[in-house]
């Protein structure tokens, strides 16, 4: 999977890191250098990355600096922390992770569902929050006395750029 190269990710990285710092300060938890490094890798792309993609990227950077290599467990611990605090999301169908693009306010809205639009060609993920879909999920779940704790929907298809490349847009 590739990502379009005409997008400047420095704004995305800065915004995601600032949001993460705000969330951690509010919750009184530490956003360690290692957690920030994992988050920086995820924020540098809109294509979901596996834990091993993140590990390989960080170890490549560490090797260039002469630093010791990270073990997979350290990446999984950082990912677990970032998920727990709503800073990143796991894309279940791809066993991959993506930085939350909705900002710190979105993490606190009750009753909203998260929707991911996943491009089958380039691999990018777009994230949206929907109060109406969240309400529908709560209504359906309520009918069977089910309590949803992570309403997430993944929709596969083609993004606008990939449609244009295929001549469908």
Most confident by average pLDDT, 32-46, 103-117, 147-161:
32-46
Establish if 31 belongs to a structural domain: yes
Q: How confident is the model at residue 2 (pLDDT cuts 50, 70, 90)?
A: very low
Domain residue limits at 80: 10-165
Establish if 59 belongs to a structural domain: yes
SS3 per residue for the chain: CCCCCCCCCHHHHHHHHHHHHHHHHHHCCCCCHHHHHHHHHHHCCCCCECHHHHHHHHHHHHHHHCCCCCCHHHHHHHHHHHHHCCCEEEEHHHCEEEECCCHHHHCCCCCCEEEEEEECCCCCEEEEEEHHHHHHHHHHHHHCCCCCCCCEEEEEECCHHHHHHCCCC
**What is the mean predicted confidence (pLDDT) over 126-154?**
89
Establish if 3 belongs to a structural domain: no
Establish if 62 belongs to a structural domain: yes
pTM over 0.85: no
- pLDDT surpasses 90 at 12: no
Establish if 124 belongs to a structural domain: yes
Please count the residues of the chain.
169
Binding residues for Zn(2+), by number, are 119, 122, 159, 162
Q: How confident is the model at residue 52 (pLDDT cuts 50, 70, 90)?
A: very high
Binding residues, by number, are 119, 122, 159, 162
130, two tokens: 């929907």
Count: domains in the chain: 1
Q: What rounded mean pLDDT belongs to the chain?
A: 88
Establish if 1 belongs to a structural domain: no
- pLDDT surpasses 70 at 5: no
- pLDDT surpasses 60 at 7: no
Q: What is the pLDDT of residues 91-122, one digit of tens each?
A: 999 999 999 876 655 544 556 888 999 999 99
CATH number for the domain that contains residue 138 = 1.10.10.10
Q: How confident is the model at residue 152 (pLDDT cuts 50, 70, 90)?
A: confident
């Amino acid at each position: 999977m590739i990502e379009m190269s005409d997008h400047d990710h420095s704004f995305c990285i800065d915004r995601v890191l600032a949001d993460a710092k705000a969330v951690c300060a509010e919750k009184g938890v530490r956003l360690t250098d290692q957690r920030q490094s994992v988050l920086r890798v995820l924020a540098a792309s809109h294509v979901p990355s596996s834990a091993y993609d993140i590990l390989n990227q960080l170890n490549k950077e560490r090797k260039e600096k002469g630093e010791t290599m990270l073990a997979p467990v350290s990446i999984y611990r950082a990912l677990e922390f970032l998920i727990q605090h709503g800073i990143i999301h796991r894309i279940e169908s791809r066993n991959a992770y993506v930085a939350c693009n909705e900002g710190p306010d979105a993490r606190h809205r009750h009753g909203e569902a998260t929707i991911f639009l996943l491009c089958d060609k380039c691999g990018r993920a777009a994230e949206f929050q929907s109060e109406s879909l969240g309400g529908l999920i709560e209504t359906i779940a309520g009918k069977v006395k089910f309590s949803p704790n992570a309403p997430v929907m993944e929709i596969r298809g083609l993004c606008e750029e990939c449609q244009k490349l295929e001549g469908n847009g």
